[in-house]
Amino acid sequence: MKMKSVMSVLITLVISVAMFYGGIYYGIMKTDVYMENLMTEYEKISDEVEAFKKVSDPETIRKYVKELNKILDDVKFLNKVIETGQLADESLSEFFKESQSQLDEVNERLLVLSHELREVHMELYREVAELKDSTQALINDKITKSEEEVKKQLGEMYDKLDVLYKELTEVTALIDKAKENFIGKRVFK
């Protein structure tokens, strides 16, 4: 009877660990797909910024300000995704809050530049180039930090699985020894 209880606990433990790692794997795969989509969208926006350098019409500037607002909405969406638990890390949330204020400042600066376009045409080109570089650095830094954190967590989980395996081996050895003594022969019939 005790052997059945121990075996059912061990089977439940193995199934639980397998389901946990399956969930982790599924979450990582979903995150990779989302990051690929985000990078594709970023590349499209980067091409649009290059085309923006060729344009000096204030109406066109306003159009691109709207596009930058869409990017800001995407960053807000990504922040919400992270807060829902796909990458439950408080430091990332804090990082996005800081990034949000920085993006708001950049957006305000672009609006000011759209009004000064007729007077300071060359200044606008310089600001657009700086915006592109800071956005690229921000995305690259974010991707690197996310990958490092996921790898660290996976390493910790594999270490815990090794410990559980060793403990299971020890319990199995103890049960085998118990079967060999007088009382064990009567209990494990």
User: What pLDDT band is residue 140 in, cutting at 50, 70 and 90?
Assistant: confident
Q: Tell me what pLDDT residue 144 has.
A: 79
Q: Is the pLDDT of residue 38 over 70?
A: yes
Q: Of all residues in the chain, what percent carry a pLDDT higher than 70?
A: 72
- The tens digit of pLDDT for each residue in 142-163 reads 777 878 888 888 888 889 888 9
- The tens digit of pLDDT for each residue in 42-91 reads 888 888 777 666 665 667 667 777 888 888 788 777 777 666 655 555 66
Q: Tell me what pLDDT residue 174 has.
A: 79
Two structure tokens written together for 10: 């061990």
- Check if the beta carbon of residue 53 is closer than 8 Å to that of residue 100: no
pTM (global) more than 0.95:
no
Question: Which residue type does 133 have?
Answer: D
